[in-house]
Structure 1
Amino acid sequence: MNTNTEQNNLSAVCDSLRVCTQTLAAPYQSDPLALYQKLSQQSEHSLLLESAEISDKRALKSLILVDAHLKIVCNGNQVTITALQQQGHLLLSYLQSTLAQQSQISLELSNDTLVVEFADNVQQLDEMSRLLATNPMQVIRQIQQVKSDDHPFSVFLGGCFSFDLITMSETLPTVQDGENSCPDYVFYFAESLIVIDHQQQSSEIIVNSLITDDSRHDDYILKSKLRLAELQFRCEKAYIGADLDLQRKTTQHADVDIGDEQFCQQVETLKENIRAGDIFQVVPSRGFSLPCPDSLLAYKALKKTNPSPYMFYLKDQDYCLFGASPESALKFSSESRQVELYPIAGTRPRGFRSDGRYCDDLDGRIELELRNDEKEKAEHLMLVDLARNDIARVSEGGTRFVAELLKVDRYSHVMHLVSRVVGTLQPQLDALHAYQACMNMGTLSGAPKVMATKLIRQIEGKRRGSYGGAVGYLTGQGEMDTCIVIRSAFVQNGRALVQAGAGVVYDSQPQAEADETRQKAQAVLNAIRIANANVDAVHEQGA
């Protein structure tokens, strides 16, 4: 068969490729983490996303990505797409055909893997041209465009953008790899999902099959129904996780990569940049590490002790990432075309007395002090202004506004000042364009953002990986919902890295900023210590 005929056949197959979605109701699961644990035991690639009310932390929705057709990994200008199941090869063919039609891309297909190499477009000066240029985001965008049934999760991509993805569109100092080895992005295209609605107390099983005109449709439909029945059977039982004794906690010391004295020196150095007019604000960070033999148990402890609007547990064959984030990264609704940022800046510890007892009156006085702190308000309003600028760059004229300003959100160990900025996305742009324009969130970088990020790289000297990036999902309908990767742990080879930063401005006190990083890391470190103290007892319960 000649090359033209092969290409025509490949094109015909790709043109007819679509996602066929089968769904089935399942018994409501009040403990999605226990269900996730049962379903993901044999999987090397899975994801749990949970959302809750900000005010009272009541659970809203849980999404369990049980199995995936594809794994998509970006490192620099190279994207590697791996078929995890037989049907994933249809997507490799689809991507090979559609991406080959675009300029400045090279492709290499071998066995289960397609490697896509993109040209470096960082030097393009025009901001909109840079935003619209072909880059590694195009792989995700191309998958979103696969034809599918009219179900919100027929095309579901869950995963993580790293902090370092910003080098895709900005020229930054080169740094060495850090302990957090998360790639520039990693996403999974879902084959099977379970969606749990805690308000309606309902569960839905979703199985997505890939078919073409050449496919044996009946076989695929039968396989989908069998998979649905298997998952329904496994969901019939109400899974309740083993109990955790939250009073048990190890006294394990957390190693820190930058001690207080060195961190304070870094703060002073960055304040010199502020005085010189290079930046207005910057967010240096440091990492705390300790053993974590059971990352899922640590996530459970974190969920119980520090419930947050965004909870996540991402399992990859090489590492795990879990967290309880208070802060949305970027949210986009395809129906309203509204894009949203939720800046958080300004932190205080909760109202605990020296003996460890909580006091409402003390908590209220701490809130009042936070609200009246001119330094905290100035830092927060600076980041609100940065969010306004980010939203304005991708929004239709006159649609950007501040929906909420200077609220206080409370968590287990800290309280924060928060605001919300929204706008209507320009018609030629999508959620990925918006994320590219806004990354990384100012609360994790500073202002001006690019210069602050350059200084962060110079002073930290290594990649941040997942810390300060975003975790969440995109759909084929264009929806995007992500949170910033903070209050999180990156776990590899039985050891957890918990990174935390502090916002530095003109009148920052170095030791206070060092203390703030410890306060922010404390909830995750304590959860890991609780898990480590409970690990033997919990495993005995599950035996």
Structure 2
Amino acid sequence: MRTKVIQHISDPEEFKRKLLYWANQFREIVFLDSNDYQQKYSHYDCILAVEAFTSVQTDFYNAFDDLHQYQSQTKDWLFGYLSYDLKNDTEKLESNNSDGLEFPDVFFFQPKKIFLLKGNELEIQYLNYIDDEIEFDLEAIISVQTKSDVKDTSLAIQINQRISRQKYLSKIDKMLDHIHRGDIYEANFCMEFYTAKASIDPLVIYEKLNLISRPPFATYLKNNKYYVLSASPERYIRKEGNKVISQPIKGTARRGQTEAEDKESIAALRSSEKERSENIMIVDLVRNDLSHTATKGSVEVEELCGIYTFKQVHQMISTVVSQVESTTSPVEIIRSTFPMGSMTGAPKISAMKIIEDLEETKRSLYSGAMGYFTPEGDFDFNVVIRSILYNSEKQYLSFSVGSAITSQSVPEQEYEECLLKAKAMFEVLGNK
């Protein structure tokens, strides 16, 4: 079905930039960059998929059935996203909050061209009927002009806060009331920052955001007028053969100004009873989610509360794995675990209902997932956090941040954690 060509790349980092700038001419793009972050479960340094041969785009109603049919029929590489409101397809839930972005709930496409970069080796995959374009494309990519200095690009975008500080504190008090009554143990509460009159160059903003954060699951996604500029540090779920891997993040600490301060920050995060309890509750939720498709007794916690350092923050990450039968549908594995536990709470359905009641906007693709399926039925998806969403036709720009609320939460501290997570997005939009 696809022609494969291997090329040697002398300067992979520069080639990645040229590849992305070249790709921006197409209507559909998914660009995935690991930023050379050392992680156990990774095959490629960078993947680019461009130009839809076929696609599926729909709302949440029967979305997983539609995606299953599409994935089963194509049996090819598929790239795209799942929005948070697919919860309304998996459970008896609804979303009535406002939505300024108006993204489709699901979008996946079968690309005409795929570029897979590992070290200095570039694998190009073309649908057979366009394989005569390979040499031309490589020449076009190598000669493409990129912006010379992304760091000096200046912007002055006025960012609005959907929920004021005082209102946020009041809502967290209500969330704590639910916890004290026993309705939930933990819930991830989020708030939106937005502007309805943003004229930006999405590619430049993505490069700036990625330069600040250098995360392992960076993504630039374009679907015509819809853009996602993501600096996500979190993997939602991956499938390799019969193994399924989920790596929820719960627990955040600020980077120090010096090496000594950094060590103190890591030690404080590692020993924090509150942060560990948040993480462990979500690990239990993920174990339960994975058990729906796992072979008997195969769900394991491979790592509990590991501390990982990124350019902006330290994070507490756990790894939960399972085994599935070879006949289990890839889409069913995702359906039975979606939305991811780190962005919902426990018990999951109760938490999602309370979240919907207290939050004031639809999350849209925020706290959903972006990634890909392979022809063999494997997949890898991130969690859409630390991300800017943009509808270029409406000029509506949005990013959201949140934190896990437990019985030990102090509302003022949760608010400060949200601002810490929003720092990179504010910075790239010209708000220091």
TM-score, normalized by length of structure 1?
0.74
Aligned 1:133-282 pairs, distance under 5 A: 135-146=62-73, 155-197=76-118, 199=119, 201-209=120-128, 220=129, 224-237=130-143, 241-244=146-149, 246=151, 253-282=158-187
Report what 2:247 is aligned to: 342
Residue 182 of structure 1 aligns to a residue whose secondary structure is coil
Provide the residue aligned with 2:414 in structure 1: 513
Residues 420 and 394 of structure 1: CA distance in aligned 2, closer, same or farther (over 3 Å)? same
Shift of 1:294: 1.1
Instruction: Specify the code of the residue in structure 2 equivalent to 1:503.
Output: A
| Structure 1 pair 251–136 and aligned structure 2 pair: CA distance change class (3 A) | closer
Structure 1: give runs of 5+ residues left out of the alignment.
Answer: 1-19, 78-134, 149-154, 210-219, 352-357, 534-543
Q: Which residue of 1 aligns with 2:204?
A: 297
Task: Say which SS state the counterpart of residue 278 (structure 1) adopts.
Answer: coil
Task: Say whether the 8 Å CA contact 2:63–2:106 is kept in structure 1.
Answer: no
1:62: how far off? Answer: 1.4
Secondary structure (helix, strand or coil) at the match of 1:258 reads coil
Cα distance in 2 for residues equivalent to 1:525 and 1:56:
28
Give the distance between the partners of 1:54 and 1:30, measured in 2 at CA: 13
Q: Secondary structure at the match of 1:455?
A: helix
Q: Alignment partner for residue 30 of structure 1, among 1, 4, 13?
A: 13
Residue 45 in structure 1 maps to residue 45 in structure 2: no
Q: Secondary structure at the match of 1:529?
A: coil
Gaps of 5+ in 2: none
Q: Secondary structure at the match of 1:175?
A: coil
Q: Equivalent residue for 1:116?
A: none
Checking the alignment, whether the CA contact within 8 Å between 1:144 and 1:477 is kept in structure 2 is: no
Per-residue CA deviation, residues 136-162 of structure 1 (Å, 9 max, x unaligned), is 3233333333477xxxxxx11100100
Deviates more, 1:24-33 or 1:517-526: 24-33
Structure 2 matches for 1:401-412, cutoff 5 A?
A: 401-412=300-311
After superposing the two structures, state which structure 1 stretch, 23-32 or 385-394, moved more.
23-32
* Contact map agreement 2:22 2:141 (CA 8 A) in 1: no
Aligned equivalent of 2:221, options 314, 325, 338: 314
* 2:265 pairs with 1:366: yes
- Quick one: which amino acid aligns to residue 91 of structure 2? E
Q: Could you list the per-position Cα deviations for residues 122-178 of structure 1 after superposition, in whole angstroms to 9, with x for gaps in the alignment?
A: xxxxxxxxxxxxx43233333333477xxxxxx111001000011112111441341
CA–CA distance in structure 2, aligned partners of residues 181 and 519 of structure 1: 27
CA distance in 1, matches of 2:215, 2:99: 27
The Cα of 1:370 is off from its aligned counterpart by 1.3
Residue by residue over 1:33-85, the C-alpha shift from the partner in whole angstroms, topping out at 9 and shown as x without a partner, is: 332212332x22222112245459999521111211122112132xxxxxxxx
Residue of structure 2 equivalent to 1:62 = 46
User: 1:30 corresponds to which letter in structure 2?
Assistant: E
Superposed CA deviations along residues 445-487 of structure 1, whole A, max 9, x for unmatched, are 1111111011111111432110000000012210110000001
C-alpha distance in structure 2 between counterparts of 1:347 and 1:328, whole Å: 16
Task: Say whether the 8 Å CA contact 1:27–1:235 is kept in structure 2.
Answer: no
Task: Tell me, in whole angstroms, the C-alpha distance in 1 between the residues paired with 2:151 and 2:60.
Answer: 42
Q: Select which of 333, 339, 343 maps to 2:240.
A: 333
* Counterpart in the other structure of 1:17: none
Shift of 1:422: 0.1
Distance (whole Å) between structure 1 residues aligned to residue 347 and residue 91 of structure 2? 13
- Over 3 Å counting, the alpha-carbon distance change for 1:308 and 1:147 in structure 2 is closer
Aligned-pair CA distance for 1:195? 1.6
Change (3 A) 1:247 1:225: closer
Partner of 1:386: 285
3-state SS of paired residue (1:165): helix
Q: Quick check: which has more Rg, 1 or 2?
A: 1
Deviation of 1:387 (Å): 1.2
Tell whether the 8 Å contact from 1:163 to 1:466 is kept in structure 2 after alignment: yes
Which amino acid letter does the alignment assign opposite residue 404 of structure 1? E
Q: Which amino acid aligns with 1:447?
A: A
Q: Tell me, what secondary structure is at the counterpart of 2:218?
A: strand
Give 1:524 deviation, angstroms: 2.2
Distance 1:504 1:529, change over 3 A: same
CA contact (8 A) 1:292 1:491 kept: no
- Match for 1:483 among 362, 367, 382? 382
Question: Is the 1:308–1:326 Cα contact (8 Å) retained in structure 2?
Answer: yes
**Normalising by structure 2, what TM-score?**
0.92
Please, which of 397, 406, 411 is the counterpart of residue 496 of structure 1? 397
Contact (CA 8 Å) 1:278, 1:451: kept in 2 or not?
yes
In structure 2, the partner of 1:73 is 57
Change (3 A) 1:395 1:231: same
Q: What does the per-residue CA deviation read over 1:101-126, in whole Å, with 9 as the maximum and x for residues that have no partner?
A: xxxxxxxxxxxxxxxxxxxxxxxxxx
* Shift, 1:253, TM fit: 4.9
Whole-Å separation in 1 of the counterparts to 2:95 and 2:221? 27
Where 2:224 maps in the other structure, the secondary structure is: coil
SS in 1 for 2:412: helix
SS in 1 for 2:183: coil
SS in 2 for 1:314: strand
Contact 1:285-1:499 within 8 A present in 2 as well:
yes
